Amino acid sequence: MAQSSPPIVTLTTDFGQGDFHLPRLKAHLLGSGRAIQLVDLTHDIPPYDIVRASFIFKRVWQHYPAGTIHVVSVNDFYQPKSRFLAILHERQYFIGPDNGIFSLIFGKLPEETYVLDGLKSSTSLPEIYARAVAHVAADKPFYEVGLPTTKFTERLTFQPVIGPDYIRGTVSFVDRYDNVTTNVTRGRFEEIGRGRPFQLLIKRMKPLDQLSVRYHDVPQGEALCRFNSDGYLEVAINMGRAASLLSIQEEDMVQVEFRE
């Protein structure tokens, strides 16, 4: 009988690539005694920025196969009262600190959530993660990974303000192409707009009143708005850098106004 492939272990960190933290974590994971496939999801999260980390991670993890183990190490450090969680959700595993990042990823507490036990003052972060990954990779009963919990640290995010004729949201993400993602969803846009004409207002830029499907629906260098593949309203410039040219930053306000 052919042996199954080693489980995939993804890494999402704010370690960057030029320090010793990332290679040390990988060394512990690879030395845990279990065969695994390491996949770098991203290590370019700004230090401590769990909001940005959760935004990126939420748009990636569901594309991995069942049984994948995700290590999310952002804004975590060991203290005697620190908690680290292991979660089983939709047939995938998640391991990381209880610092609010999992509330940003999942919204509510997944049913199978455990606090990693057996932590001592001398235990390092790589050791914590390596032990939990080895437990899952060995296909041991998941409930033995730690102690069950009914709560985790919650972190609130900006939610759009809704009126009968407007949606007031914020910029939630600026990608490397300077495309601007807002927290206005297609569902909310259609619910409030009901097919009416609209204007999108952000900073001092000229209002946008047409939805595009693709970036090249407008001439090169012109601004546009569209719903991206994740269903969020986005502002971009065809072959340009919207955030830089329009001086748009994360958490800036964006307003969509509807009219009869």
| Strand extents, DSSP E, 14-160 | 37-42, 69-73, 84-89, 92-97, 112-116, 146-148
Name residues of the chain where pLDDT drops below 70: 1-3, 78-80, 118-122
Residue pLDDT, tens place only, 42-95? 999 999 999 999 999 999 999 999 999 999 999 987 666 789 999 999 999 999
For residue 2, the model assigns a pLDDT of 44
Yes or no: say if 220 and 165 are a contact pair by the CB < 8 Å rule: no
Gap between the Cα atoms of 76 and 97, Å rounded = 6
Annotate 221-238 with DSSP letters as a single string: T-EEEEE-TTSEEEEEET
Exposed, middle or buried, 219 (CB in 10 Å: 0-12/13-18/19+)?
exposed
For residue 4, the model assigns a pLDDT of 75
- Pull the structure tokens for residue 38: 């390491």
Yes or no: say if 142 and 136 are a contact pair by the CB < 8 Å rule: yes
For residue 1, the model assigns a pLDDT of 39
User: Taking the model in full, what pTM does it have?
Assistant: 0.85
Three-state DSSP at 117 gives coil
Residue pLDDT, tens place only, 118-138? 666 557 889 999 999 999 999
| Domains of the chain, each with CATH number or no CATH | 8-148 (3.40.50.10790), 161-258 (2.40.30.90)
For residue 99, the model assigns a pLDDT of 93
